[in-house]
Structure 1
Amino acid sequence: MTLDLNTLIAILTMAAATVFTRVSGLVLIRHIEIDERRRTAIEAIPPAVLMAVIAPTAFATGWAETLACAATAIAARRLPMLASVVVGVATVALLRAAGL
C-alpha cells in the first residue's frame, strides 16, 4: 500500500487543526469567568451536537431509527453523552430485532 504525499499532508493538516482547536479552547477558557448562564450554555453543547448528528437519520430511515433517535434525545436531557448513545444504539438494535 502506498501513501500519496498530498493525502499525508491533508491528514497532518487536519490533525493539526483538530489539536489547535482543542488546545485553543482550553487556553481561552482560562481567561473567561464562567457564571451559571455560561456553564448552562456550555453543558448544552454535547447534546445539541449529538442531536445534529442523529437528526438526519430520524427522518431518512425507518421507524426503528426514528424511535431510537427520540429515545436518544430524551436520554440526552438527563444522562451523560456516552450513556445517551448507548440508549440509542440499544433501542435501535431491539427495535430492529423486533421487526420494525
Structure 2
Amino acid sequence: MTDDTLAHRAQHATRTESVHLPPSVAPTNHGHTTAAWTTTIVVVLGAVVAAVGMVAALAWLAWSGGAVMLLGLVLGKVLQVLGYGQGGAQTLARQAGAAH
C-alpha cells in the first residue's frame, strides 16, 4: 500500500512543472484597435436591432439586425487584413506615433 497523503506528496515531488513562454512580447494595446472597436460596435448595434425586432415581432427587423451583425464581422476582418488589427501596419504606425 502506497502513502498517497497530501503531506507525502508535498515532501516527495515526482514531477516538475515546465514553463511555456510566448515567442515574443505580446502587443501592449490589449486589442484596442480600429478593427476590434469597429467590429464590436457594429455587432452590438446589430444585436440591438435584432432584439428590438424580436420584441416587436417584426421578422424583417430581426433579420436585418442579423445582417448588420454579419456585416460587422466581415468589416472587422477587412480592416484586419488592411492592417488596422492587432499587429497590423496601421496599428503599429499609430502606436509608434503615439510613443513620441
Do Structure 1 and Structure 2 share a fold, with TM-score over 0.5?
no
TM-score (norm 1): 0.33
The structure with more radius of gyration: 2
Structure with higher helix content: 1
Relative contact order, CA 8 A, sep 6+: which one is greater?
2
